[in-house]
Amino acid sequence: MISIKKLIIGLGGVSMATLLVAGLGNSMDKPDPAEYPFAPSLLQYKKSAAEFTPPETCGECHSQQYNEWTGSMHALAFKDPVYQGELNKAVKAVGHDIARQCEGCHSPAGIVTGEIKMPGLSGLSDVALNGVSCDMCHSVSGHSGWQTPYRFPGNGSLILSPGKDTPSGPVLTKYGPYQPEEGCGDGFHECVEQPLHKKAELCANCHQVYHYETHTPIESTYREWKDGPYAVHDIACQDCHMVDFDTFLRSADTMKKPKKEEFRHYFNGANFLIYALTEQAAKKAGDTELAANVHKKYEMAVARLQAAADLVVIPIYRDKKLAEIKVRVKNIRAGHKLPTSLTNIRQIWLEMTVKDENGKVIMTTGTVDEKGALPSEARLFNSDGMGEGFHFAIDPWEIVAFSRQDAIPPKGYKDVYYGVSAPQSKGPLVVDIKLRYRQAEQEIAHALLAAVPEDMDLAAIYGLTAMPDLPVVDMVSKSVKIEPAL
């Protein structure tokens, strides 16, 4: 028999701990605090005397990128009241440690500098308040995604290096997609080419969220993209989210990459609700420029949602009589599942009404009631999260599994069948059908807004004195005629 000692020597000094973990096929390692001092966030920080720069300063020379980024979901990632409400709930539920995980993505600078101590906005620097600002991407010198305890990017696994110390003092280094030209940075910063900036893996470190202890994947935008057709054709997140609307359509439809001059810093997605609230706040503060800026982003988000999906209605007959209505819901232009990320919170559902030739309603489903709730039979394309012991859960610190995953894969579809009893009338039936989207169930949104930290006064900032009705966007609306019998 070989002794354990010999075996270890034979393996070239692999430690006993590693052997045991590998041998038992154990659950994932905990992040090593020496390597990941901000765990549960997997951010890494190369500290020097070179500090982070507020976005306004970058904007003095890069005004186009600054105007595009201003009012984007990245600019709002930390001030977002829905985020602050959930953060506050998280800290109250499981203690302050979890806040580092959240802030690692929603305000990376605020955590590596140790500035953010509790939920809320008061007393914080410009850099911390600006969430995912210029420097959170352009100080990224690399990522540790493939070396994380779960061997996959996520939970903020970026390496932030805003600059370096030199004998003549600190020098700022900014990483970008291109080979720098002579004089790049105008003496304010040096430029380094970083190929990561053209790849989905830059975004992946934040757009892939794991449970802070068990590592269950909770938000999986990057994994969904990676498993789909756009990754195969090298159409990255940037090619749809860092371009204007028409260029996004072209990327999605033709799988052709945008040209260098077509990139923009809008980071526009689906979140029309936060743009609408921000527009209200800007108007209240008398900032008409910001109000106009976010209004444009609101319109872009709605247009994007309306370009993402399509519906096909297919009647099914048995004994020559209409027996079922099949609805095929297609994800035609989202690079990941539809919806993605917080799939257990976002709601996409079908609303349908079938009328006979006299206009009499013979079937209806998916209509929101006067309290803003959906009927239990509504067909939703999202997921249900579960906590330990098979109970329904919505909060990221509770979810350790999913009992249902019904989001629609990229360039894929889901079919829904509605049984109909054979109508008496002879003439064609009219099927009015809609695919509808909202950020969350009304009750959940209200609960999060009600949970914001005390220093965020929703009436003072947003003019909210009562909880708002949550707006719904119709992604697709169709009216089709079908025959009741063949």
- Give the footprint of ligand HEC on residues 339-358 (CB under 6 A): 339-342, 346
Task: Name the minimum Å distance from CB 303 to ligand HEC.
Answer: 10
Binding mask 75-94 for ligand HEC (x = CB under 6 A): -xx--x-xx--xx--x----
- Local structure of 180: helix, strand or coil: coil
Nearby residues of 141 by Cβ (< 8 Å), 6 or more positions away: 46, 159, 160, 161, 173, 175, 192, 194
Contacts (CB under 6 A) with ligand HEC, residues 314-343:
333-336, 338-342
Task: Name the minimum Å distance from CB 352 to ligand HEC.
Answer: 21
**Residue with smaller CB distance to ligand HEC, 102 or 352:** 102
Closest CA to 84 of 483, 448, 466: 448
E strand spans, 332-447:
347-355, 361-365, 383-386, 392-393, 401-405, 413-419, 429-438
Structural contact between residues 162 and 51, judged by C-beta atoms closer than 8 angstroms: yes
Task: Name the minimum Å distance from CB 177 to ligand HEC.
Answer: 4
Q: Is 215 exposed, middle or buried (0-12, 13-18, 19+ CB in 10 A)?
A: buried
**Residue with smaller CB distance to ligand HEC, 215 or 241:** 241
Contacts (CB under 6 A) with ligand HEC, residues 122-181:
132-138, 154-156, 174, 176-178, 180
**Residue with smaller CB distance to ligand HEC, 342 or 386:** 342
Contacts (CB under 6 A) with ligand HEC, residues 4-33:
none
**Residue with smaller CB distance to ligand HEC, 295 or 355:** 295
Contacts (CB under 6 A) with ligand HEC, residues 208-237:
209, 221-222, 225, 230, 235, 237
**Residue with smaller CB distance to ligand HEC, 129 or 325:** 129
CB closest to ligand HEC, residue no: 335
Task: Name the minimum Å distance from CB 300 to ligand HEC.
Answer: 10
Beta pairing partners, 219: 209
Task: Name the minimum Å distance from CB 157 to ligand HEC.
Answer: 8
- Local structure of 344: helix, strand or coil: coil
Tokens encoding 384: 């249900």
Tokens encoding 158: 């970026």
For residue 50, state whether it binds ligand HEC (rule: CB under 6 A). Answer: no
Number of residues that bind ligand HEC (CB under 6 A): 98
Distance, CA of 391 to CA of 387 (rounded, Å): 5
Contacts (CB under 6 A) with ligand HEC, residues 91-120:
98, 101-102, 104-106, 108
Give me the helix-helix angle, 288-308 and 245-254, nearest 10°. Answer: 20
Task: Name the minimum Å distance from CB 240 to ligand HEC.
Answer: 3
Task: Name the minimum Å distance from CB 176 to ligand HEC.
Answer: 2
Contacts (CB under 6 A) with ligand HEC, residues 395-424:
396-397
Structural contact between residues 170 and 164, judged by C-beta atoms closer than 8 angstroms: yes
Binding mask 54-73 for ligand HEC (x = CB under 6 A): -x-xxxxxx--xx--x---x
Task: Name the minimum Å distance from CB 441 to ligand HEC.
Answer: 12
Dihedral-angle region of residue 447 (phi above 0 means left; psi in -120 to 50 means alpha; beta otherwise):
alpha
Evaluated on CA atoms 460, 463, 469, 472, the torsion sign reads negative
- Among 203, 327, 380, 473, which residue sits at the site for ligand HEC (rule: CB under 6 A)? 203
Q: Is 297 exposed, middle or buried (0-12, 13-18, 19+ CB in 10 A)?
A: buried
Contacts (CB under 6 A) with ligand HEC, residues 432-451:
439
Task: Name the minimum Å distance from CB 202 to ligand HEC.
Answer: 5
Nearby residues of 115 by Cβ (< 8 Å), 6 or more positions away: 109, 124, 125, 128
Distance, CA of 72 to CA of 388 (rounded, Å): 36
Reported as type and span, the H/E element at residue 298 is helix 288-308
Task: Name the minimum Å distance from CB 315 to ligand HEC.
Answer: 28
Distance, CA of 153 to CA of 271 (rounded, Å): 24
Q: Which residue carries 């539809």 as its tokens?
A: 338
